[in-house]
Structure 1
């Protein structure tokens, strides 16, 4: 295997600050996707999101699927913020892919943004100044 699919849900996505980490190892954007409706999302100090799979109260979260050369995967992960990790993410079509998740401790006490459906929508609403009532 020379590459692996990786689901990303925050600053690794196109147009965000850490997307260059994917590009630097010759990753290729594959498609936009959504998780199955069993995830929650938090804003970690408004710098990046963290997503967790839950039994109750989850929703579908927007993400991107990237094809990453296996040799570059560790390099990308080492550059991720502390508390983010890799796990299996269930997509809306029932497929399972590796993806970026957040440790429980990282999300504790942070702003839950699940209601926005994804990091891109949350950031757009911040820019528009309309954060009230969406969680």
Structure 2
């Protein structure tokens, strides 16, 4: 699978989440679950559906955020990335295992009306807490 491109997802594309089918329909393969290095803040973005998080790299005060790393063939990666709406974008993430795959980030302009949910450690934990409330 060395001709495939790794992509780290943090929210609606995680296994079991509403947009995961966008990866599986492109023959995406789940490689591993790993946290980011503690360099990021996670925000619940305004708008939807579906509800989506935004991951922002910060200089200090970041946390480790749950991710899944998937692989896609280059053509599938291209069509996947082409469909990503602003304020989300793709950049290079730093993960706790030392790898640096491409992954979801959020432009800071997209944080208007967003809520910082870094303390949950990831989108699943945040969604589980919302479901309990």
CA RMSD of aligned residues (A): 1.3
Q: Could you say what secondary structure the match of 2:93 adopts?
A: strand
Matched pairs, number:
129
For 2:105, the equivalent position in structure 1 comes to 101
Q: Could you say what secondary structure the match of 1:73 adopts?
A: helix
TM-score under structure 1 length normalisation: 0.90
Instruction: Report which of the two has the higher share of strand.
Output: 1
For 2:41, the equivalent position in structure 1 comes to 40
2: distance between equivalents of 1:104 and 1:58? 15
The runs of at least 4 consecutive aligned structure 1 residues that moved more than 2 Å come to 78-82
- Once the two structures are superposed, the pairs formed by residues 4-23 of structure 1 within 5 Å of their partners are 4-23=5-24
Kindly indicate whether residue 79 of structure 2 is the aligned counterpart of residue 79 of structure 1.
no
**In the TM superposition, what is the alpha-carbon distance from 1:107 to its structure 2 partner?**
1.4
2: distance between equivalents of 1:91 and 1:106? 23
What residue ranges of structure 2 are gaps of 5+ in the alignment? none
For 1:49, the equivalent position in structure 2 comes to 53
What residue ranges of structure 1 are gaps of 5+ in the alignment? 130-135
